[in-house]
Amino acid sequence: MSSIAISVNNIKSKDLILEKYIKEVNIIKPLGREEEFLLANEFILTGDIAVANQLIKSQLRSVVRIAFNYKNYGISMMDMIAEGNLGLMHAVKKFHPDMGYRLSTYATWWIKAYITDFILRSWSIVKIGTTKLQKRLFFNLSKIKRRLGFAYNSALNGENIKLAAEYSGLSDREFTEMDIRITSPDISLNKASEDNLEFGDTIPSDLQNPEQVLMKNDEKKRRMIMVKNALTQLNEREKEIFYQRYIVEPKATLHDLSQKFGISKERIRQIEERCLEKIKLYIGS
């Protein structure tokens, strides 16, 4: 195992926790091929956590080195290292020395997988990188733009989109969506504008405002009271037919009510119409 390629002097912002962590992993002695082989076999046979810890500690430098490759994505370095360590632990569980390569080679894939998935989850509240091709574009967009001579921090348009999409193997729509998501960060709805209004307050909404909702509820209550009072104008049979046809669920059919009251369906319909006329007349007065 080669020495870690990142020194504390390469840390742009002062992060004492990160500095301390790097110093600690830098002094961990790497395992030789034979020692690693023996420990890996012992862990497979015994499941001894102490043995697994030795294998994990031997690769902590790799996690830091890989995490620093993604330092320009605006994600906390310690958070990425923590995710990379989870990937390393998963790799140790899956590793078998008879695979024909060292733990460092095998673990690299899992470390990268955990870190890149974490970056995608952290980048936006909108899920991105749902396919392998989109995920590859997310992490190679700057390289693609640089090769084509485009600025990384601005969204493309027109013929540039067609050219970049063709180069990346995506459709124009897929490339445009990914490009906009990456170059346009999420904006908090609570962020204040120049007019001192929250951004969320400037977004048009089809929803009713509280005053409209209150007025609607008051009107609904008023109508219910009027209908309730209007029902006092009906006799008991008329009330029952009205309730069964307009209030309860499921509504009774004319056939059901004709069977219940022993009269024809036409007679039930006539009584129903008379109920409605009485209620309308009462409300109208």
More confident residue, 127 or 44: 44
Interatomic CA distance for residues 63 and 122, integer angstroms: 19
Length of the chain: 285
CA pair distance 104, 74, nearest whole angstrom: 26
Averaged pLDDT for residues 56-67: 94
Q: Residue 39 and residue 220: Cα distance in Å, rounded?
A: 75
Structural domain including 142 reads 132-183
Question: Is 191 inside a domain boundary?
Answer: no
Clarify whether residues 263 and 238 are in a common domain.
yes
- Asked which of 123, 153, 174 is the last residue of a domain, the reply is 123
Peptide bond into 204 cis (omega under 30): no
Same domain? For 30 and 52 the reply is yes
pLDDT of residue 226 exceeding 50, the answer is yes
CA distance 82 to 78: 6
- Could you tell me the CA-to-CA distances from 186 to 15, 175, 189 in Å, in that order? 26, 18, 9
Question: What's the structural domain count of the chain?
Answer: 3
Least confident of 68-77, 80-89, 254-263: 68-77
On whether residue 167 sits in a domain, the answer given is yes
Say how far apart CA 4 and CA 66 lie, in whole Å: 10
Residues 219 and 264 in one domain: yes
pLDDT value at residue 137: 61
Give pLDDT, residue 229. 84
- Alpha-carbon separation of residue 85 from 59, 114, 136 (angstroms): 9, 9, 22
Residue with the larger pLDDT of the pair 239 and 192: 239
pLDDT tens-digit map of 102-128: 999 999 999 998 998 888 777 654 455
CA angle 169, 170, 176 (to 5 degrees): 135
- Return the ∠ at Cα 254 (arms to 253 and 260), rounded to 5°: 95
Asked if residue 232 and residue 271 are part of one domain, the reply reads yes
- Please check whether residue 78 lies inside any domain of the structure: yes
If asked whether residues 144 and 91 sit together in one domain, one would say no
Asked if residue 119 and residue 15 are part of one domain, the reply reads: yes
- Together in a domain, 111 and 139: no
3-class DSSP state of 75: coil
Say if CB 258 and CB 265 are below 8 A apart.
Answer: yes
Select from 106, 123, 140 the last residue of a domain.
123
- One domain for residues 103 and 30: yes
Stretch 163-175: mean pLDDT: 71
pLDDT of residue 155: 59
Domain termination site, one of 123, 142, 161: 123
CATH of the domain at 95: 1.20.120.1810
pTM of the model: 0.52
Q: Which of 123-127, 172-176, 256-260, 276-280 has the lowest mean pLDDT?
A: 123-127
Residue 3 in domain: no
Q: Mean pLDDT score of the chain, rounded to an integer?
A: 79
Question: So what's the pLDDT on residue 37?
Answer: 93
Same domain, 157 and 262: no
Q: Which amino acid is at 36?
A: E
pLDDT band at 4 (very low <50, low <70, confident <90, very high): very low
Do the domain assignments include residue 196? no
254: domain CATH number is 1.10.10.10
> 198 forms bridges with which residues in the sheet?
192
The vertex-107 CA angle with 104 and 110, nearest 5°, equals 155
Range from 143-152, 183-192, 213-222, 239-248 carrying the lowest mean pLDDT: 183-192
Residue 245 sits in the same domain as residue 265: yes
Residues 21/81, Cβ–Cβ less than 8 Å = yes
Q: Mean per-residue pLDDT for 193-201?
A: 63
91 in the same domain as 69: yes
Q: Quick check: is 172 in a domain?
A: yes
152 assigned to some structural domain: yes
Verify that 46 and 152 share a domain, yes or no.
Answer: no
The pLDDT value given to residue 262: 92
75 has pLDDT over 90: no
